[in-house]
């Protein structure tokens, strides 16, 4: 598809006034979650077939990332792409156009309130069981970003050219914590909606196993990529879980394939959100308890680090289904 897509100014599906849900705001506390008294439908136990396997855990802990093929069936994937295209055409993603080195990149933070599908994906049955398998049950969605990478206006693909923007996630967390290696604390799920099975398509690059290294040795002359760096080459519909500590980078796209990725960051409930969690109140109210936990539920602040069962429906649910896990 041409980049950028033609502007059609379509009506947004969800243009109702937004309420800001900041889990750190006391008004956000739900003192008597309805599900305690009368449990509403929640995650289907069928999702346990997607639980993190021993092999997957070993791969994730050794390499710092895990590829989950066919995570998104075509219908769901195409509908997500359609939504991104609609939002893009309306101009609302433009504030995410920030990247200084990859000029055709949009990286929109905190996008879950832009469409109900984005919101619901926070408790997606094929990936959330892997997330709680890696991090445990005291988790929530602390950060999201939506990336669209179009074709660079000039130049050509050359990994031996200038070194890209290698980093570990979470900003100051990497300076403020003093251990070696630093603790994991969070991971991201990247949903690759378009085909990035070949290089030069704005691929996500990683250095396998580098999540345990506090430092990265970059090429001294600023040319080429660090040792052992590889592109994550995956088909459309693949999800990639990655440890926030793995050294990784976004890259420029020199192809005609516009790359579209949704990133969902999960961390412990005692870390602060990295961006605004803004979405319509009704979506939250209608959600099942585990999705509400992902979107910031807590009965009070204390319950983020010392949760009672009322704070963590996922824990209660896992205990109930322990026999099936």
Ligand X SMILES: O=C(O)CCC(=O)C(=O)O
Residue 243 contacts ligand X per CB under 6 A: no
Residue 250 contacts ligand X per CB under 6 A: yes
Residue pair 247/191 in contact (Cβ under 8 Å)? The answer is no
Distance CA 263, CA 193 (A): 11
Q: Which residues bind Fe ion (CB under 5 A)?
A: 169
Nearest residue (CB) to ligand X, 147 versus 316? 147
Residue 231, H or E segment: strand 230-231
Among 111, 140, 142, 204, which residue interacts with ligand X (rule: CB under 6 A)? 204
| Closest separation in Å from C-beta 70 to ligand X | 20
| SS3 category, 317 | helix
Nearest residue (CB) to ligand X, 105 versus 304? 105
| SS3 category, 262 | strand
Residue 258 contacts ligand X per CB under 6 A: no
How does DSSP assign 25-52, residue by residue?
A: SGGG--SS-HHHHSPPP---GGGGGGSP
Nearest residue (CB) to ligand X, 232 versus 314? 232
How does DSSP assign 273-305, residue by residue?
A: PSS--B--HHHHHHS-HHHHHHTT--SSSHHHH
Binding partner of residue 312 among ligand X, Fe ion, none, CB cut-off 5 to 8 Å per kind: none
Residue 248 contacts ligand X per CB under 6 A: yes
Strands 65-68 and 259-268: unpaired
The contact mask relative to ligand X for 134-163 (x = CB under 6 A, - = no) is -------------x----------------
Number of residues that bind ligand X (CB under 6 A): 8
Burial of 189 (0-12, 13-18, 19+ CB in 10 A): buried
Residue 207 contacts ligand X per CB under 6 A: no
| Tokens (6 digits) for 295 | 């979107």
The contact mask relative to ligand X for 165-184 (x = CB under 6 A, - = no) is ----x---------------
From the list 64, 57, 56, 59, the residue with the least C-alpha distance to 229 is 64
| Closest separation in Å from C-beta 246 to Fe ion | 9
Nearest residue (CB) to Fe ion, 169 versus 243? 169
28 CB neighbour count, 10 Å cutoff:
17
| Closest separation in Å from C-beta 12 to ligand X | 24
The contact mask relative to ligand X for 92-131 (x = CB under 6 A, - = no) is ----------------------------------------
Binding site for ligand X (CB under 6 A): 147, 169, 188, 204, 248, 250, 261, 263
């Amino acid at each position: 598809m041409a980049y950028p897509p033609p502007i059609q100014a379509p009506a947004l599906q969800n243009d109702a006034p937004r309420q800001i849900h900041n889990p750190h705001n006391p008004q956000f506390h739900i003192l008597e979650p309805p599900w305690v008294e009368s449990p509403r439908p929640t995650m289907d136990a069928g999702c346990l077939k997607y639980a993190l396997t021993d092999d997957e855990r070993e791969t994730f802990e050794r390499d710092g990332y895990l590829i989950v093929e066919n995570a998104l069936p075509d219908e769901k994937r195409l509908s997500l792409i359609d939504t991104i295209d609609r939002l893009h055409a309306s101009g609302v993603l433009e504030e995410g156009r920030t990247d200084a080195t990859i000029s055709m990149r949009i990286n929109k933070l905190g996008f879950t309130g832009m469409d109900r599908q984005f919101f619901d994906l926070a408790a997606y049955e094929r990936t959330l069981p892997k997330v709680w398998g890696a991090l445990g049950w005291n988790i929530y969605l602390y950060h999201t970003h939506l990336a669209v990478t179009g074709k660079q206006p000039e130049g050509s693909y050359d990994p031996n050219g200038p070194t890209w923007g290698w980093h570990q996630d979470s900003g100051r967390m990497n300076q403020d914590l003093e251990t070696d290696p630093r603790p994991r604390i969070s991971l991201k799920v990247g949903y690759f909606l378009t085909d990035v099975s070949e290089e030069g398509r704005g691929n996500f690059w990683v250095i396998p196993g580098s999540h345990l290294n506090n430092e990265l040795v970059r090429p001294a002359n600023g040319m080429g990529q660090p040792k052992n760096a590889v592109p994550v080459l995956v088909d459309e519909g693949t999800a990639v879980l990655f440890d926030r500590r793995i050294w990784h980078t976004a890259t420029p796209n020199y192809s005609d394939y516009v790359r579209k990725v949704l990133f969902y960051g999960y961390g412990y409930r005692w870390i602060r959100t990295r961006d605004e969690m803004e979405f319509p109140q009704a979506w939250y109210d209608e959600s099942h308890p585990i999705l509400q936990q992902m979107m910031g539920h807590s009965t009070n602040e204390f319950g983020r680090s010392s949760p009672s069962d009322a704070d963590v429906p996922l824990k209660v649910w896992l205990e109930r289904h322990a026999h099936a896990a």
